[in-house]
Amino acid sequence: MAAAPTEQKSSGFFGRLKARLNRGTTWLASELLWLGEQPLDEETVEELETRLLKADVGVEATTWLVDGMRAASKLNPGTPAVELLRRTALGLLETVEAPLTIDAARRPFVILAVGVNGTGKTTTVGKLAHRLKANGHSVLLAAADTFRAAAVEQLQEWGARAQVPVVAQEPGADPAAVVHDALVAARSRDIDVVLADTAGRLHTAAGLMDELEKIRRVIQRFDATAPHETLLVLDASQGQNALAQALKFHERLKLTGLAITKLDGTAKGGILFAIAQKLKVPIRLVGVGESVADLDDFRASEFLRALLGDARS
């Protein structure tokens, strides 16, 4: 009985995801209606590949899915193509389903949030702080985006809403120094989690990427095992460009998790398959809006129902 509230909350979140994905048009589910109950044949494969590519799935992930469907069809002759797609897609997405967990033995547990400009990174950091606080963790925010005064103000607003302290300095200050001050403050106050919001930067800007590595070095001087989570915030509406960003960030920073945002905009959702197949970094969180409630753990089966529609419908 105790699990009921969680189930209701989950249903509510993914209900919103289903309603808002690609502005509520359930685009991919509609695209797959033509499949009906037909079996997997070469004509079906050709059409399916075209539609998956249009959904931002990408060439490599589309090929992987179709190959998996062919293999499954040989083991289960006569299974409708749409059911083969559901099973194969679920198997892929489940490989990156891994909620963010806070290791109580590592205090403070350090989360470094990174990403390009405009992905909703500061908003995600604020919502995550609120979520962690609601789950009983003490949290401190580090306003390491010192290039945008608005980013500091935005993070301070989130800190006030979540009732968590924010360490900040003047605009233009050294981001690594801000993070260092936050870590020292967290240790002195016996804080559970330090969540650092960094400035948005293009993955192709070598100098700014070097700055992130400097922040990491400062963190590691404080705690050789940190950061314990390097979280990349990705905008799902950017399609295959989001995958390119993730690959570059992972190459430089060795990402441990992803937060996928803006699934309530023009995103078709297929980029998650490309991320799972190519990047193989855990998807921790998904976001579908601006409110605190619009951030939740990534759950493969529920995401797939929102994207493809319910198999029973």
- Spatial distance between the Cα atoms of 245 and 114, rounded to a whole number of angstroms: 11
pTM: 0.90
Instruction: Tell me which residue has tokens 């260092």.
Output: 180
Beta-strand (E) ranges in the chain? 109-114, 139-144, 166-167, 193-198, 229-235, 257-261, 283-287, 295-297
Point out the least confidently predicted range of 9-18, 42-51, 74-83, 229-238.
9-18
- For the beta carbon of residue 297, count every other beta carbon within 10 angstroms: 16
- For the beta carbon of residue 210, count every other beta carbon within 10 angstroms: 10
- pLDDT bucket at 235, cuts 50 / 70 / 90: very high
Q: Answer whether residue 312 shows pLDDT above 80.
A: no
- Spatial distance between the Cα atoms of 298 and 98, rounded to a whole number of angstroms: 7
Q: Which of 152, 145, 135 is nearest to 179 (CA)?
A: 145
- Spatial distance between the Cα atoms of 175 and 214, rounded to a whole number of angstroms: 9
Select from 70, 94, 118 the last residue of a domain. Answer: 94
Same domain, 133 and 88: no
Contact 239, 273 (CB under 8 A): no
CATH number of residue 73's parent domain: 1.20.120.140
Point out the least confidently predicted range of 49-53, 230-234, 287-291.
287-291
Mean pLDDT on 137-142: 98
Q: Is residue 100 in a domain?
A: no
Q: Is residue 296 in a domain?
A: yes
Q: Which of 227, 238, 255 is nearest to 103 (CA)?
A: 227
Select from 68, 94, 120 the last residue of a domain. Answer: 94
Residue type, 116: V
Q: Which of 182, 226, 176, 223 is nearest to 199 (CA)?
A: 176
- pLDDT bucket at 17, cuts 50 / 70 / 90: confident
Structure token digits, residue 77: 């002759």
Q: Is residue 228 in a domain?
A: yes
Mean pLDDT on 244-253: 93
Mean pLDDT on 166-188: 96
Q: Which of 48, 18, 19 is nearest to 35 (CA)?
A: 48
- Spatial distance between the Cα atoms of 155 and 149, rounded to a whole number of angstroms: 10
Helices (H), 34-147: 42-54, 59-75, 81-94, 121-134
Q: Answer whether residue 269 shows pLDDT above 90.
A: no
- pLDDT bucket at 30, cuts 50 / 70 / 90: low
Q: Is residue 3 in a domain?
A: no
Same domain, 144 and 278: yes
Q: Is residue 14 in a domain?
A: no
Same domain, 216 and 302: yes
Domain coverage including residue 242: 109-308
Select from 59, 94, 129 the last residue of a domain. Answer: 94
Contact 298, 99 (CB under 8 A): yes
pLDDT at 37: 79
Structure token digits, residue 263: 């699934």
pLDDT at 254: 94
Same domain, 71 and 149: no
- pLDDT bucket at 201, cuts 50 / 70 / 90: confident
pLDDT at 263: 83
Same domain, 188 and 280: yes
Helices (runs of H) and strands (runs of E) counted in the chain: 12, 8
% residues pLDDT > 70 (the chain): 87
Per the structure, how many domains does the chain have? 2
Same domain, 73 and 118: no
Q: Is residue 12 in a domain?
A: no
pLDDT at 51: 86
Same domain, 51 and 127: no
